[in-house]
Structure 1
Amino acid sequence: MNYDVAKNLHDVLGNLPEGVRLVAVSKFHPNEYLQAAYDEGQRIFGESHEQELKLKQETLPKDIKWHFIGHLQTNKVKYIAPYIDMVEAVDSLKLLKEINKQAAKHDRVIKVLLELHIAQEATKYGLTPDACRQLLAEGEWRELHNVQICGIMMMASNTDDEQQIRKEFMETADFFDEVKAEYFADDDAFCERSWGMSHDYKIAVECRSTMVRVGTTIFGPRVY
């Protein structure tokens, strides 16, 4: 391996305060890179392609917690439902219901995060704060017993403007507090604030993130 995954992993972990967990974003990286991180103690890996994930899941250690971090199409849920630990980007009630349905078939409860769209650019996915409020207010999610809503995820604008990034993270942190108080005050599982990636995770942890998604900094450029 020409990339020092172990060293990079420990460099990133060294920047994370207590209580912040790392999702090692391993999509498009070969199994030996994941194994190298695993051997150093990393257990949460993020993937966003169902077929690639299937191959990795079949061949890598069984105690890995796989997070699906990309946009998930409803017709793909059934393929990952047997083993996925968390779906990090739920952007519609329709997707939430499909995850619930497929999880029930395997007698599982799948953890999910609601994806918030705050960023300035017109990225395709995520609930606006108002749409998220509406989804929760309508309450249909309460009937879904095979999914567990564990918090909020978002991606900041792709910009070098640290003030802008910080503003978006803090806006999301405030939104988390609002939703927590309104709907999940007695639910300890609703605790995750997933924001921060390779280029901005250090800012994210200052802005109350509990989970950062870092790939390139650990594994190097993607191998397509």
Structure 2
Amino acid sequence: MAVNFNNYRQVQQQLEPYHARLVAVSKTKPVEDIRELYTAGQRIFGENYVQEMVEKAGLLPEDVQWHFIGHLQSNKVKYIAPFVSMIHGVDSLKLLSEISKQALKHKRVIDCLLQVHIATEETKFGLDETELFQLLDQAGSLSGIRITGLMGMASNTDDETQIRKEFAGLKILRDTIWEKYFPGTAFFKELSTGMSGDYKLALEEGSTLVRIGSLLFGARNYA
């Protein structure tokens, strides 16, 4: 399926009042589809798989901002460290330390989001509140990373009240951390919440980055 430009324009219009940004989730999608959306003005693309992201980065313009949005293994950080713009979903000090280490090898500072477990399902990755503050207390010496906000995935439910509560709670948590760890700074502002099915609720609850794939590219091909 080709890019759905009607949906793309609609999403961009909905983001504008909130000053939020679109992460076009291009995992499993061909380079040709990404290039079409790039030509339309999209610059931020999200990938879940390291090898796929590296291959696509080598075939597309250098001003693409690649966001890694999957669960990243520490031993694969080195492959994306030279070019990745932001890593969503960091959920351990080990991973954060490795990102910093690899970033410094390339004389870079990589923006990272800490993933918080906000859903009711036990299968999703992420830190609980205690683990989050422990990580923040330990991460101050890492000079190759910049923690710019939080990321969360809402419960897989049709209950909009539940989803809204989860998004709102994450925003409160971000603001608490901002005041405690990053007072007076402008960079700790990101909230990566909301996907194709719930991004409108996420925007209303403070999301600054929405991760949308199927609305733009159609259903994913897992073959």
Matches of 1:9 and 1:31, distance apart in 2 = 17
SS in 2 for 1:148: strand
Report how many aligned residue pairs link the two structures.
Answer: 221
Matches of 1:3 and 1:34, distance apart in 2: 10
TM superposition shift of 1:159: 0.6
2:50 alignment partner in structure 1: 50
Structure 1 outlier segments of 4+, above 4 Å: none
Indicate conservation of the 8 Å contact 1:5/1:37, yes or no: no
Within the alignment, does 1:14 sit opposite 2:30 as a pair? no
Residue 185 (structure 1) aligned to one of 176, 183, 186: 183
Name whichever of 3-12 and 190-199 sits farther off.
Answer: 3-12
Using the size of structure 1 for normalisation, the TM-score is: 0.96
Match of 2:164 among 163, 166, 185: 166
State the shift of 1:142 in Å: 1.3
Distance 1:63 1:12, change over 3 A: same
Secondary structure of 2:154 counterpart: coil
2:130, 2:216 → 1: CA distance?
35
Partner residue of 1:201? 199
**Which residue among 139, 154, 157 is the counterpart of 1:156?**
154
Residue 57 of structure 2 aligns to which amino acid in structure 1?
Q
Q: 1:192 to 1:25 in 2, by over 3 A?
A: same
Deviation at 1:192, TM superposition (A): 0.4
Shift of 1:15: 1.6
Q: Is the 8 A contact 1:91 1:115 kept in 2?
A: yes
> Partner of 2:66 in structure 1?
66
Secondary structure, aligned partner of 2:140? helix
Q: CA deviation at 1:5?
A: 2.9
Query: CA offset at residue 64 of structure 1?
Result: 0.2
Partner-residue secondary structure (3-state), 2:195: coil
Structure 2 residue aligned with 1:30: 30
C-alpha distance in 1 between matches for 2:218 and 2:111: 28
Q: Secondary structure at the match of 1:15?
A: helix
Provide the residue aligned with 2:216 in structure 1: 218
Where do 5+ consecutive residues of structure 1 fail to align? none
2 CA distance for matches of 1:164 and 1:107?
A: 43
Deviations 1:141-182 (A, max 9, x none): 111111000000100001111000000000111111111111
Percent sequence identity over matched residues? 52
In the TM superposition, residue 11 of structure 1 has moved relative to its aligned partner by 1.6
CA RMSD of aligned residues (A): 1.0
| Paired residue type of 2:85 | D
SS in 2 for 1:160: coil
